[in-house]
Amino acid sequence: MKEISALQKERAAYQPKLPKALMGAVKVKEGEPTQSVANQQEIKELFPNTYGMPLVEFVSGDKANEAEMNVGVILSGGQAPGGHNVISGLFDAVKKLNPNNRLFGFLMGPGGLVDHNYVEITSDFIDQYRNTGGFDMIGSGRTKLEKEEQFEKGLVILRELNIKAVVIIGGDDSNTNACVLAEYYAAKNYGVQIIGCPKTIDGDLKNDQIETSFGFDTACKTYAELIGNIERDCNSARKYWHFIKLMGRSASHIALECALQTQPNVCLISEEIEKNDMTLNQVVEDIAKVVACRAAQGDNFGVVLIPEGLIEFIPAIGRLIQELNDLLASHGADYKDLDKDAQRQYILSHLSKENAATFETLPEGVARQLSLDRDPHGNVQVSLIETEKLLSDMVDVLLAKWAKEGKYNGAFAAQHHFFGYEGRCAAPSNFDADYCYALGTSAAQLIAAGKTGYMAIVKNTTAGTDEWKAGGVPITMMMNMEKRNGEMKPVIRKALVELDGKPYKTFVSHRDEWAKNTCYVYPGPIQYWGPSDVCDQTTKTLQLEQTK
């Protein structure tokens, strides 16, 4: 028998809580027709069958829908704590609607649908995964579902398994593709529904309808625990500056949330750096000033949080990346066969003067990373760029210069960390366990109600679970047109940190004090049992965003 930990054994017995409206029979309450957040005409033309649908809320009903339906489910993109609970919620709801219903999991992401790799999710099978982290139940992948040929190949297996609907659990890119697939099947009248589900630790899939993406809560709490431990070590030995890069491909939500939880000396917010049109040297100078200020009071130690996506938000580098994206998209094949040095020369000779100059100032490793392949959605693979080392090296050089000029007289020794993968598969917090189970249940109800092109949602999440509101939002409502791989495409708008939002403002109102003094907070590990204040609190971001 497979060994499992004592915690997993206990945790398996946890029954996630559901909103009142999802506990029994459900009735659908429809709102007004919707519009996309921008580019309405273009999005409407691209999605004639799934545009403009109303928002849906589930309320308690008196007659159970006994819909007969086989359902498919796909985990797409980066892991996020709670994915297994979405599938558990979906499984339980699908079986509750009708015990003959079957759930199939497509393996290793969207590619499983195209290549017909699947497993039937049965009761015994799913019981091993309830309330566990990870996506290992069926695996995940980043295959982009975008071509008609893929949609048609997928249809073959959907027909074979008599699958009426597929739930795609993914981030903004995967849900964009879910919407394209929903539109395609609707246009062809294939009778297959597609439902999305908001996943990503990055926290950037949120808007007026989606309060938070699942996984953000657990991942941030896991990183905050580790940062707190480092802060305590740092405050004990008093000899290191710790440069910690935190995941979050674009937005700085994770870094900001971790800063609110742990009160480090410095936390960079990419969105602010972009708005202030800062250069890399200015960012470095700001950090060095904090180091020097603390050194002057005898504190040669500290903690700096760096959002993973920083590099793309430094405007000059952002412009360079834009041009590189277009260049790599249009010259892919001839470029790929060149060796490293020839690739660098090729890039320099094709870039505009301004961007070539920026490219030349970058350390070779960073420049190289920016010139490598994008992920299947056209994103720079920022998790591979060692910004934490780049910044600390540059701070070191600047401090040495200041020392020569008699402006600094401290000791600077840096340690480097990257927290990303450590948090993506953590066992879900109570919040994520409940939230995900409710999302899965909502997805099943959307299918039973005949909906397609919707994303399952759960709102009012800072209230008690039974007061949460569940329903669905048309995916087209969250879309606008953006340039991807050199072409304008309909995509779900990413939510960046809002510089007039409460989480950011709260951080700004404290950061000078946190920079100078040692105000560390040590959150400790996620707790599953115990006082509600310790176990059931959501993120500070969500709490601040929800306070009126």
Neighbours of 65 (CB within 10 A): 18
Residue 95 vs 489, nearer CB to ligand FBP? 489
Binding residues: 78, 172, 200-202, 239-240, 247-249, 308, 421-424
Q: Does 78 bind ligand FBP (CB under 6 A)?
A: yes
In contact, 251 and 202? CB cutoff 8 Å: yes
- Shortest spacing between CB 215 and ligand FBP, in angstroms: 7
Give the residue with the Cβ less far from ligand FBP, 78 or 474.
Answer: 78
Which residues are annotated binding-site positions for substrate?
Answer: 200-202, 239-240, 247-249, 308, 421-424
- The two three-digit tokens of residue 49, written as one number: 């069958």
Position among 16, 19, 52, 77 found at the interface with ligand FBP (CB under 6 A): 77
Among 72, 109, 171, 264, the residue binding ligand FBP under the rule CB under 6 A is 171
Concatenating the DSSP letter of every residue in 137-166 gives TT--B------HHHHHHHHHHHHHTTEEEE
The two beta strands, 469-474 and 414-419, are unpaired
DSSP result, 244-287: EEE--SS--HHHHHHHHHH--SEE--HHHHHHTT--HHHHHHHH
Report if residue 249 touches ligand FBP, rule: CB under 6 A: yes
Residue 214: strand, helix, or coil:
strand
Tokens of 26: 């459900």
| Residues tagged in the binding site annotation for Mg(2+) | 172
Tell me how many degrees the CA angle 184-76-386 measures, rounded to the nearest 5.
130
Which of 131, 114, 105, 118 is CA-nearest to residue 11? 131
> Regarding beta strands 70-75 and 103-106, do their DSSP bridges make them parallel or antiparallel, or are they unpaired?
parallel
Angle, CA of 468, 473 and 475, to the nearest 5°: 145
Touching ligand FBP, residues 418-457 (CB under 6 A): 424
Examine residue 210 and tell whether it contacts ligand FBP (CB under 6 A): no
500-515: b (≥16 Cβ within 10 Å) or e = eeebbebbeeebeebb
Site string for ligand FBP, 300-319 (x = CB under 6 A): --------x-----------
State the Cα torsion 455-460-466-469 to the nearest 10°.
-40
Measured between alpha carbons, how far is 31 from 325 in angstroms, rounded to an integer?
40
Q: Considering only the stretches 92-100, 245-253, 263-271, 455-463, report the one whose residues sit in contact with ligand FBP under the rule CB under 6 A.
A: 245-253
Residue with smaller CB distance to ligand FBP, 288 or 382: 382
Task: Give the range of 39-47, 73-81, 131-139, 399-407 binding ligand FBP by CB under 6 A.
Answer: 73-81
Smallest separation (angstroms) from ligand FBP to the CB of 375: 6
- In the complex, the smallest distance separating the C-beta of residue 40 from ligand FBP, rounded to whole angstroms, is 26
Which range binds ligand FBP by CB under 6 A, 2-10, 198-206, 456-464, 529-537? 198-206
Choosing from 62, 124, 136, 202, the catalytic residue is 202
- Interacting span for ligand FBP (CB under 6 A) from 72-80, 315-323, 325-333, 446-454: 72-80
Nearest residue (CB) to ligand FBP, 88 versus 387: 387
Closest of 476, 425, 431 to residue 458, by C-alpha: 431
Q: Provide the 3-class DSSP secondary structure of residue 81.
A: coil
Binding ligand FBP (rule: CB under 6 A), the pick from 57, 92, 183, 202 is 202
Q: How far is the CB of 246 from ligand FBP (least distance, A)?
A: 9
Examine residue 81 and tell whether it contacts ligand FBP (CB under 6 A).
no
- Taking residue 52's Cβ as centre, other Cβ atoms within 10 Å add up to 18
Nearest residue (CB) to ligand FBP, 176 versus 430:
176
Residue 516 C-beta: closest distance to ligand FBP, Å:
31
Q: Supply 390's token pair.
A: 């780049």
Active site (annotated) includes residue 326: no
Site for ligand FBP in 333-372 (CB under 6 A): none
User: 60 forms bridges with which residues in the sheet?
Assistant: 26
- Length of the chain equals 548
Q: Give yes or no for residue 383 binding ligand FBP (CB under 6 A).
A: yes
In whole angstroms, give the CA distance from residue 546 to residue 254. Answer: 17
47 SS3 class: coil
x/- letters, 30..69, toward ligand FBP (CB under 6 A): ----------------------------------------
> Of 103-111, 247-255, 398-406, 522-530, which part binds ligand FBP (CB under 6 A)?
247-255
Q: By the criterion CB under 6 A, which residues form the site for ligand FBP?
A: 77-78, 80, 171, 200-202, 247-249, 308, 382-383, 424
- Catalytic residue ranges: 202
